[in-house]
Amino acid sequence: MTMGLSVIAEVRDASACGGCFHQAPPPQQPQQPQQPTEESSMVSDHRMVFSLSRHQTVLWDQIRYNGDPKEFAWVLPVRPGTRVELSRDEWIASLDATTQPTIRQPQPQNVGGFQGGFDGR
């Protein structure tokens, strides 16, 4: 009995990142082939942006999902006093557009010589 009370009385920090909760898909009939588990997920896209400073941490969390919004919940664990606001999709789209990697082919350096040309004279 003492051990049971100590487990209940012990307070520890919880580490969590949130989750997607939705209605489970209907059970499969035994005669039907098993479907892949990926098809049961309603989330089709997920992007996160963080801003960190000494005074605050800001998380922009964007998800896209399939199905009825009434049957879907996106849960983020936050501390008391956390300010939660809605953002605009255009903000993350703009950030994506301005931070896309740009790959450029190296330009040949002028190292003298014929530079690959010969006119035959």
Per residue in 74-106, pLDDT (tens digit) is 888 888 888 888 888 898 889 989 998 889 998
Nearest Cα residue to 49 out of 98, 102, 103: 98
Look over the chain and give the mean of its residue pLDDT values, rounded to a whole number: 75
Examine residue 25 and state whether it is found in any structural domain, yes or no: no
Examine residue 58 and state whether it is found in any structural domain, yes or no: yes
Residue 68 lies in domain:
38-98
pLDDT in tens, 27-65: 766 666 655 554 456 788 888 888 899 988 888 888 888
- Residue 48: which residues within 8 A CB-CB, separation 6 or more? 59, 60, 61, 62
Examine residue 82 and state whether it is found in any structural domain, yes or no: yes
Whole-model pTM above 0.85? no
Examine residue 89 and state whether it is found in any structural domain, yes or no: yes
